[in-house]
Chains A and B, each alone.
Chain A
Amino acid sequence: MAKTTTSRADKAKDASAVPAPADHNRERPDTPVDYKASKEELLEFYRQMTLIRRFEEKAGQLYGLGFIGGFCHLYIGQEAVAVGIQSALEPGKDSVITGYRDHGHMLAYGIDPKVIMAELTGRAAGISRGKGGSMHMFSVEHKFYGGHGIVGAQVGLGTGLGFAHKYRDDGGVCVAYFGDGAANQGQVYESFNMAELWKLPIIFVIENNQYAMGTSVNRSSAEDQLYRRGESFRIPGLQVNGMDVLAVRGATEEALAWVKAGKGPILLEMKTYRYRGHSMSDPAKYRSREEVQEMRDKSDPIEGAKKHLEAAGVTEDELKKIDQEIRKIVAEAADFAESSPEPDSSELYTDVLVEQY
C-alpha cells in the first residue's frame, strides 16, 4: 500500500543502486501534489463519497432481500478514486468508461441515484430501461459509456472514445477505468500501443484494489507495480494513493495537463481496496478479516476526508446534516427502485436494432 503519491522518478532516486533506465531523458509528468481543495470542494467530495458508500450499502441490502439479481459488484472502499478523478472532469465533454463495478462512477458523474437503483432492480425506470442491469448501464447524456461486463473490453472501447475526441478535435479526454485483474488482459496492451502511437487523449486508470476476484496482484502479475505497465509503450505511469481523494484529484490534474498538452495517454495506478467481496457471492477465503479491518481503520477515504474537513473548520453537526440528506436520497432511490414497475413485456423486442429493415 503506497502511503504517498510517488512517481517512478522518485523511486529511481530512492534506489540508487538501480541503473538509470535507458529512456531516462524521456519527458515525464511531474510528481503530483495533493490537491488543495476549498472547503466547498471538500464538502462535495465528502458528500459524493458518502453517497456512494450509502448507495452501495443499500444495494447490498436489496440484493440480500432479492430485489437485485445476478451479479452485483459494490464500490465500497474505492470511493475516493471515482470521486477524485471525476471531480476534475467536465461532464458532457470528457468521457468515462469502466467495467462492471460501475455504480460509483455513475454517481460521481452526477447521474440520478434513482435511475441507477431502478436499473439494479430491473425496472422500466432504470437507466437502461431494465435491460442492462448492474453491469450494463450507460448515459450518453453524461458521456458515461458503461458499464461493461467483459473484463478489459472497456480499455479498447475507451481508446476508441479517445480516438473520437481527437478525430472531432472537441477538446475532450476519455478516462478508462479498469481493475488490476483486467490489467493482465492482452487487449489492454493492444490499446496502449495504439493510444500512444496516435497520441490519443485518454487517461488509463488502473483501480488496483489488490484482488482480481480472489487472486491477489502478486499471485497474478509478473510486474506487480502496475503503474509501470505502460512503460514499454512509452506511456508514463503514476502510482497514487487511491484511498486519499486529494491525492487522486492531484494526480488527475497532472494527468489531464499531460494529456491536454497533446502528449498522449497517461496511466494512473490507483492503489485502493474494496471492503466487500468481489461480487455479492464471495467466499472471503482469500484474505483475512484483519486485513480488511485494518484498511477500514487506517485508510478509509471518507474518514480521511472528514479529517480534512475538521481541519477546515467544518463541524460534526454539519457533516451529520449531510449524512442525513444522503440517507434520505438513498432511501428515496431504494423506494423508487422497489416500487416502480417492471418493463412492459412488449419491451422484449425493442432496442435490438435501431432501424427497421
Chain B
Amino acid sequence: MGVEIKMPALSPTMEEGTLAKWLVKEGDEVKSGDILAEIETDKATMEFEAVDEGKIGKIMVPEGTDGVKVGTVIATMAGEGGAEAAPAAAPEPAEAKAEPAVEAAPAKAEDAEAPKKAESGTAKLESKAKPALADPDIPAGTEYVKVTVREALRDAMAEEMRADDRVFVMGEEVAEYQGAYKVTQGLLEEFGPKRVIDTPITEYGFAGVGTGAAMGGLKPIVEFMTFNFAMQAIDHIINSAAKTNYMSGGQMRCPVVFRGPNGAASRVGAQHSQNYGPWYASVPGLIVIAPYDAADAKGLLKAAIRSEDPVVFLENELVYGRTFEIPKVDDYVLPIGKARIVRAGSDVTIVSYSIGVGLALDAAETLAGEGIEAEVIDLRTLRPLDTATVLESLKKTNRMVVVEEGWPVCSISSEIAAVVMEKGFDDLDAPVLRVTNEDVPLPYAANLEKAALIDAARVVKAAKQVCYK
C-alpha cells in the first residue's frame, strides 16, 4: 500500500493544470521537499514538492498532459518501509512549502465530521451560462472564436500598442513575470521593456507617474495587481486624473487607463476582496468599465485605451479563465456607456455587471424552468450609466432585480434603484430588489465566505419575489 500523489491545486481558483514536466522517475527515492514535478496553470508555472519520504512507484500521468484535474492521481509512491498506509488526512508538518500537497490530498473520509478540502465561497460565483445576445453592432454572419477573458484583455492591449506608440503598460510584475494574473503575457516579448514596464511595489508612486505621463501626452495603461492595492493610489486616480480636465477648463487631458482585478477572489480574506465599482463610479470625470465576458472585455478595453478621458477598468480574477466567443473582426471596439441585453425576457429585468452577470444568467435559466422569463442586462459601463437601457427594459417587464457582487450600501444597486424610482416609478409593479453581498468584510472561513457572497439561488428568490410568485 503506497501513497497516492495527486494533482495539487496551486492557487485558490485552480481546477486543472498541465503536468509540464516530471523531475523524478519511477524508482527514485525522494524525501520531503524534493521537487517532483512542474505544473503549469493558465496563471503560472509552479514546482510541486514531495511531502513524504519514499520511492516513486508508478507515474500515472505522463509529462506534457494538459487538463489534469485537481485531485487526479498522477503517481504512486511506496511509503517509508514500503507498506504503510497513506497518512493522507493527517495534518502536515508545519512547513510552509507543504501547502500545495495539503490541498492535493483531499480527505478520503467523506463522512468524517472534520471539514473537507476547503471549498471557496466564490465557487458559488461560477456560472455555466454564456451571454447569448450579440452586441447589436456586430454584423450578422460574423465568425466567432473562443477566447478567455485573460487573452481578450491581452489582445486588446497588444492591438492598441501596435496601433499607437504612445500606449504603454506599467505595473507590478507586468513584464518579466508576465503579469501576476498573466494578463500581460507576451507583451514584453513583443514590445520590449520601454513599453512594458515593471514597477517597484509602489502603487501611489506609479499611479502618479502614469497620470503624469498621461498629462505629458502619453497613453499609459496602469495595471494594479488588484484594485485593493489601488487604495494606496486612489488620490491620483481621483484628485489628479479625474479632476484635471475640469479644473483646467478643458485644456489638460489625462488619458490614462487604470486596470486590474476587482471584487472577491477566492479565500483571500477581507483586504483582498472588495468591489470598488461604486467608489469610482461616484466620481465625475472618470469613466468606469466593468465587463463580464471576453468580447466586452476586449472591445471595451480597446475603447478605454483610445479614450481621451481617464478610465478605471475593473476586471475580475474569477472570470479571467472563463472562455467566451469573440467575433472575429479586425478591430473590435465597443462603445463606452452602453449596456447590453444579454438575455431577452418579458417578466422581470435583472440588472448586473461583471461576475454578477453570470449568476443572473444562471438564475434566468432556473426561472425559465418555472415559467418566468427574465431579461438580463449587463451594464458593462458603470459610469456613465446607461440608464436608458435599464428604464426601457423596465417598461417591458415592470419588475426589477439588481445583482451586484459587492456591498449593498451606496452601491451601483442603490443607484439603479434610485434612478428607477425617480424616472421609472410608473412602470414599477413591485419594489426594486437588490441582491448583493452581505454587509460585512469578506470572511476567510469557507462557510462564512459562502454565506457572504451572492449566488444564483438568491437571484432566483428575489426575482420570484418581485413577480409575487
Contacts and interface: CB of A to CB of B under 8 A. Distances in A.
Contacts of A95: 216
A155 B211 CA distance: 11
Given A138-B248, A138-B251, A150-B235, A156 B168 contact: no
A140 B200 contact: no
B204 A161 contact: no
Contacts of A157: 208-209, 211-212, 215, 236, 240
Contacts of B247: 128, 131-132, 136, 138, 146-147
Nearest to B285: A352
B253 interface: yes
Contacts of B371: none
Contacts of A163: 209, 212-213, 216, 218
A159 to B, nearest CB: 5
* Interface size band for A: 35 or more
Nearest to A143: B216
A138 B253 CA distance: 11
B384 interface: yes
A171 to B, nearest CB: 14
Given A161-B213, A168-B217, A357 B384 contact: yes
Contacts, number: 157
A350 B285 CA distance: 11
A136 B247 CA distance: 6
Contacts of A97: 212
Contacts of B245: 351-354
Given A355-B307, A355-B309, A357-B384, A160 B212 contact: yes
B240 A352 contact: no
Given A129-B250, A353-B309, A160 B209 contact: yes
B312 to A, nearest CB: 13
A145 interface: yes
Contacts of B235: 150, 153
A126 B208 contact: no
Given A129-B250, A156-B212, A160-B216, A149 B307 contact: no
Contacts of B246: 131, 351-352
A161 B284 CA distance: 24
Interface string A72-91: 00000000000000000000
A145 B309 CA distance: 17
Contacts of B210: 160
Contact of A129 (B244, B249, B335): B249
A274 to B, nearest CB: 24
A265 interface: no
B420 to A, nearest CB: 21
A165 interface: yes
B239 A197 contact: no
A167 B246 CA distance: 27
Interface string B189-228: 0000010000110101111111111111110100000000
A138 B202 contact: no
Contacts of B123: none
Interface stretch (A41-49, A186-194, A224-232, A325-333): A186-194
Contacts of B249: 126-132, 351
Nearest to A351: B250
Given A153-B239, A160-B209, 9 more contacts: A148-B240, A153-B235, A156-B208, A156-B209, A160-B208, A160-B212, A160-B220, A190-B204, A357-B335
Q: Which 5 A-B pairs have the closest CB atoms?
A: A156-B208, A160-B212, A190-B205, A129-B249, A164-B216
Interface of A: 95, 97, 126-132, 136-140, 145-150, 153, 155-165, 167-168, 186-187, 190-191, 193-194, 197, 350-355, 357
Interface of B: 168, 194, 199-200, 202, 204-218, 220, 235-236, 239-240, 243-253, 255, 284-285, 287, 307-309, 335-337, 381, 384
